[in-house]
Amino acid sequence: MKQSSTPIIKLIPDFLDYCEVGKGLSQKTQENYQRYLQKFILWLKKVKKDDLLPHQLTSEDIWAYRLYLSRFQGQKGQFLKRITQNYYLIALRALLGYFTAKDIESLPADKIQLPKAPEAEKTLKFLSLEQIEKLLSAADAKTPTGLRDRAILESLFSTGLRIAELVALNREQFANLKNKKDLELGIIGKGQHPRTVYFSERALEWIKKYLATRDDKNKTLFIHYRARHDSDARLTSRSIERIVKKYALLSGVPFFTTPHTLRHSMATDLLTQGVDLRTIQEFLGHKNIVTTQIYTHVTNKRLRDVHRQYHSLGKDSKK
């Protein structure tokens, strides 16, 4: 291990390059790391340690930064949720891991322990099928924008696509749809892992209707109609989030609804129909089954109800 004479702040751009080239992480992950590490940079400047070298970072510094995160208040006076604090710490831990990979003396990454998020913050939020129908029907399909938005909402619920995966879709992936009732589509998901997603007959029908209105040559599937002809018309992740939030408000479904809520709702619906967790894992592209187990809130309740209804010794013997 060697001691670096370059301050931590100035090594962060090198770390982000390493994430791209060395580890092959997605652009979204790189952007997240950059955003979360910006908070650490601000803290270093606040405590007048912006020239701190990697080997000078101590466990006391980490503790002071964790206190800063726990007491930080946003513009509306709200404190950071525990799970959000963890995101900032995960980014810092990744930076320390980079130092180790480059033989730069610093604290080991495992010196940063992640506090467990309260159970209330782990509660999985999803919509019922009735709420899903209200949300999907809120888009006015009589207008080009409304038709596009309906196709977006239907696609999210049908496939369980992550928002970045939806944004990346291109028209060529939906060529020759005339005689197809549904569609299996190979995509490259989070962490560059390939998987297959499935567009239902209903979702594909809305995509066909939307594409029938397109007379441009843009390769992107979902475009921003107000974009200039000489600019990239691809909708951004933020645009998709705003679209979903717009129809959540119009339809009166819970305010927490996001594109990821539709992903959760799709998985929850499949589990309710009896699909096993391993299959759900494949649908969602989870690398680890542990991630998929957040959906056991559905199966746990269903098993409890079945046990109450059918288990002989569980019934009142006097009846």
What positions carry a catalytic annotation? 162, 190, 260, 263, 286, 295
Gap between the Cα atoms of 138 and 254, Å rounded: 14
Q: Please check whether residue 174 is in contact with residue 183, taking contact to mean a CB–CB distance below 8 angstroms.
A: yes
Q: Are 131 and 253 in contact (CB under 8 A)?
A: yes
Name residues whose C-beta falls within 8 Å of residue 233's C-beta, 6 or more positions apart in sequence.
Answer: 216, 218, 220, 223, 224, 225, 227
Yes or no: say if 148 and 240 are a contact pair by the CB < 8 Å rule.
Answer: no
Question: Which tokens sit at 160?
Answer: 């369980």
Helix, strand or coil, per DSSP, at residue 54: helix
Phi and psi of 199, rounded to 5°? Answer: -95, 120
Cα 102 to Cα 2, 9, 13, 30, 310: the distances in Å are 9, 16, 14, 18, 60
CA separation (Å) from 157 to 125, 193, 199, 263?
14, 21, 9, 6
DSSP assignment string, 259-310: HHHHHHHHHHHHHHTT--HHHHHHHHT-SSHHHHGGGHHHHHHHHHHHHHHH
